[in-house]
Amino acid sequence: MKIAMLAGTHSGCGKTTVMLALLQYMNLQAHNPRPFKVGPDFLDPLWHKAVTAKASYNLDTHMIGIDESRRLLNRCAESEGYALIEGVMGLFDGRSGVGEAGSSVDLASQLAVPVILVVDAGGMSGSIVPLASGFCEFAQKCGARIAGIIANRVGSEYHARLLSESLLEYGLPPLLGWLSKDAPRLEERHLGLKIPESVNVPDFQDKLHMNAEHFEAAFSLYQPIQDNPAELGVLQGKIIAVAKDQACCFIYPANVDWLTEQGAKLVWFSPLAGEPVPAADALWLPGGYPELHVRQLAESATLASIKTFIETGKPVLAECGGAMLLGQSLIDQQGKSWPMAEVLPFRSKMQNKLAALGYRQERSGMRGHEFHYSVRETDDALVPCFETDVGDKGVCYKNLRASYVHWYFASAPAAAKAWFT
């Protein structure tokens, strides 16, 4: 398997748009592309899967860790084709500092993966030289290598030629291709891109211009490193019901894999369709967009079924939007209140500004990520269920653990086992 990372100079440079255009191009070139995503993002991987029909796994050096990231890549190492890892934010942006844990360059360095840099070239020609030069020099200091550049928002073939000649003249990595400034744009909402199920995936091929030889040369052969086999079977025989639809769609594929590798059987149901919680030993309510489907959820018979399941005392894990289903009500951005499952004594209220964003770690070692625009309002004292370094400590009731954090199960297997048993 050949591999490269697609990273950007900054958030908003068009990295995800270029990523989707490249995945379409690689499909047409029969490169059998396998997408990955740096960081905790849910939305970009959904778009990757819409183009490639393959699950896109998250990788990073903080929440997931380098060992788990290698294990996920090793699964694909023997396959023919190309792996393309989409970076997060700008190349050197991570949890803190410059090029530190959680950044794209830190992952590229530790995996020895070459970087393809996306540059927003709108309004520049020769200025690409100091920009690219600075990124190349600092990437080298971080132990990574930029193997090529893709320019976004290019005005014409003449503009592209100026960019290419400037890079060549100063001995910088070559221009691998460019995307026209009139390429389709991806629609966004408050948590980022809209999910691909709600909009059509644009066709970028008339707007993408690639040098096939340069592009393929930018990839290197992935060399798998022997990983330590994980303990398996700790959930053998357990049946876990999982909510999954557009209201509960933020699910790491690796979490699904981890549960099944531990011997659990997953049974799926849709709150939006009014389906009851299936017969199960435990329940998982992932996050998503309940606020966009609040009328349908308020009228869904699933909420009563969820409440009944929780009252039995069986284990329940509710994350972010999944936890919002369990309050007394959900107040939308227009101020209208909608009844929810009425399990926990709080109201979830949507606001127009970001409420929380960042990595989280629980005392058990379990790592996760918090990102939401809603806040929890209550007149009662809530019993916390997590001891986190920062951020939401959640709400505990019977055998329910509910919080705003999306957890990554493989980061603390013993804790994940305890949550579902």
- Which burial class, exposed, middle or buried, applies to 26 when counting CB atoms under 10 A from its CB (0-12, 13-18, 19+)? buried
The answer to whether the beta carbons of residues 362 and 387 sit under 8 Å apart is yes
* Distance, CA of 6 to CA of 21 (rounded, Å): 12
Query: Whose CA is closest to 23, among 38, 4, 42?
Result: 4
DSSP string, 245-309: BTTB-B--HHHHHHHHHTTPEEEEE-TTTTPPPPS-SEEEE-BS-GGGSHHHHHT-THHHHHHHH
Instruction: Please give the distance of CA 145 from its chain centroid, rounded to a whole number.
Output: 24
Q: How many CA atoms, within 13 angstroms, populate the side-chain half-sphere of residue 341?
A: 26
* Distance, CA of 385 to CA of 370 (rounded, Å): 16
Identified catalytic residue from 136, 142, 248, 320: 320
The answer to whether residue 396 is catalytic is: no
Q: Cα-atom radius of gyration of the chain, to the nearest Å? A: 22
CA distances from 52 to 31, 69, 82, 242 (A): 11, 20, 12, 24
Catalytic residues: 320
